[in-house]
């Protein structure tokens, strides 16, 4: 696919703070741009344009490229240039396996150690998600979806564990963003979260784990539609 655009290579909000680690900042900007699909699968990445927009030298950009390539989010080809990687279905399945394994374990812990603080946090997030449904604000719902899961994970573990999950689900997140306009309603997502919450409140470990597994696997229900609608974004 040939990409032509007058817009900048990165979102206009992309800003570098000189006193902080440049490589880490460039990596984060590129990572978020790829996951959010600002940078689309298969799109060329031009080092010079990125350097000019961020007003930095090429070294931190090249180092960030190497890290993203190691995570299979970009492809660096000596002669053809650098591109955002297309979505690999097997990568999505692997990331789902990692996420489900870790998050069902945290749900088990949450059931056994349920308390008022966690209940109130999740209840508030559910109310905010319901408001997103009323406002038809799907991008905000996507953020609150992550916050719901992170709250459960960090009830048991440090933020380091969520970081591992977050990195593992990068490929899956691109599918989630692509699926936002599909008919699957925002209300269904909130309903799935409500089932998880209700199972946690009732102390039913089996129901809580089943509800979490069901919710995490719904990403695959949209894959067939996405493959047909956006076949150019996926690896052959």
Q: Do 4 and 38 touch, CB atoms closer than 8 A?
A: no
76 plus 146 within the same structural domain: no
59 vs 177 pLDDT, higher one: 59
φ/ψ (deg, to 5) at 48: -60, -45
Same domain? 76 vs 193: no
Residue 192 belongs to domain with CATH number: 1.20.120.530
Q: Are both 167 and 115 inside the same structural domain?
A: yes
pLDDT confidence of residue 2: 44
Give residue 181's pLDDT. 79
Q: Same domain for 220 and 189? A: yes
- Closest-CA residue to 91 (of 216, 161, 210, 175): 175
In the predicted model, is pLDDT for residue 100 greater than 60? Answer: yes
Q: What pLDDT sits at residue 236?
A: 76
Measured CA to CA in angstroms, residue 162 lies from 33, 112, 147, 165 at distances of 20, 20, 10, 5
Tell me: the pLDDT tens digits for 159-190? 889 999 998 899 999 998 898 877 677 889 99
Residue 134 and residue 37 share a domain: no
Q: How far apart are CA 97 and CA 25, in angstroms?
A: 29
78 and 113: one domain? no
| 101 shares a domain with 75 | no
CA distance 145 to 129: 8
Q: What is the pLDDT of residue 131?
A: 96
**Which residue range is the domain that position 65 belongs to?**
22-84
CATH number at residue 32: 1.10.10.10
Q: Is residue 3 part of a domain?
A: no
């Amino acid at each position: 696919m040939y990409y032509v655009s007058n817009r900048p290579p990165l979102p206009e909000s992309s800003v570098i703070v000189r006193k902080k680690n440049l490589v880490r900042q460039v990596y984060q900007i590129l990572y978020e741009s790829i996951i959010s699909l600002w940078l689309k699968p298969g799109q060329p990445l031009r080092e010079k344009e990125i350097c000019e927009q961020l007003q930095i030298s090429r070294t931190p950009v090249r180092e960030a490229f190497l890290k993203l390539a190691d995570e299979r989010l970009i492809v660096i080809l000596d002669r053809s240039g650098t591109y955002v990687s297309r979505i690999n279905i097997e990568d999505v399945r692997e990331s789902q396996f990692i996420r489900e394994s870790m998050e069902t374990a945290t749900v088990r812990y949450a059931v056994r150690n349920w308390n008022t603080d966690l209940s109130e946090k999740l209840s508030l997030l559910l109310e905010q998600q319901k408001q997103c449904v009323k406002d038809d604000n799907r991008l905000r719902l996507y953020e609150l979806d992550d916050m719901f899961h992170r709250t459960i994970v960090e009830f048991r573990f440090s933020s380091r564990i969520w970081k591992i999950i977050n990195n593992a689900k990068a490929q899956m997140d691109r599918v989630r963003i692509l699926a936002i306009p599909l008919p699957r309603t925002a209300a269904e997502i909130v309903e799935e979260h409500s089932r998880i919450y209700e199972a946690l409140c009732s102390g039913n470990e089996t129901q809580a784990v089943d509800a979490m597994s069901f919710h995490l696997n719904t990403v695959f229900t949209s894959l067939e539609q996405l493959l047909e609608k956006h076949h150019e974004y996926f690896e052959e």
